[in-house]
Amino acid sequence: MCTSTDSGEKDMMLRAYRKFWSLLIIAAFLCGACAVMRPPEQRIPSPEGPIVAGTPSDEDLFLLGTSYLGNKALTPDYFNARVAFEKLVKTYPESRWRPASQRLIILIDEIKACSTTSSNKEMFKILQENQRLKKDLERLKLLEIESEKRAKTLR
């Protein structure tokens, strides 16, 4: 009877060792896979251009341009959107997407012009505020000097 329990214990030990080694091999495999990945700055960029050989269709260019304009989650990339729309206008002069692309190019240009003018206005306001603060600081220094002189004469 002792021999049957010894073989049962051996089977359990053998299963435990198999489980341990299989888990160890899986962990080593996963660690090895992570070690192979390069950090983002060392990764090789994917090749530029379309995945499928040939030129993109007019609809593809229009959709690409609109995708660059962004949505609620993405900030717009006006430069690449404009490039896609210009390529559509130049490559496909008879496209049904051409009028919309031309309007979008005009809108992108207006957005850029407005943002530069508003940023120039903001910069001008900041410079004026800076000059006003400098003048106020000079006045405070003069007032402090006067108050020190008065304090000396009162002593």
Of the ranges 8-12, 25-29, 137-141, the best mean pLDDT one? 137-141
pLDDT in tens, 80-115: 899 999 999 999 999 999 999 999 999 999 888 877
Greater confidence (31 vs 64) lies with: 64
Portion of the chain with pLDDT greater than 70, in percent: 78
pLDDT surpassing 60 at residue 49: no
Q: How many CA atoms lie within 13 A of 10 on its CB side?
A: 6
**Neighbour-count burial for 101-124, b at 16+ CB within 10 Å, e otherwise:** beebbeebeeeeeeeeeeeeeeee
Instruction: Look at 109 and 35; give whichever has higher pLDDT.
Output: 109
Element (H, E) at 49: none
* Over residues 31-56, mean pLDDT: 57
Rounded to whole angstroms, the Cα distance separating 103 from 88 reads 12
The pLDDT value recorded for residue 54 is 73
What radius of gyration, in Å, describes the C-alpha atoms of the chain? 36
Which is more confident, 129 or 39?
Answer: 129
> Shortest CA distance to 86 belongs to which of 100, 102, 97?
102
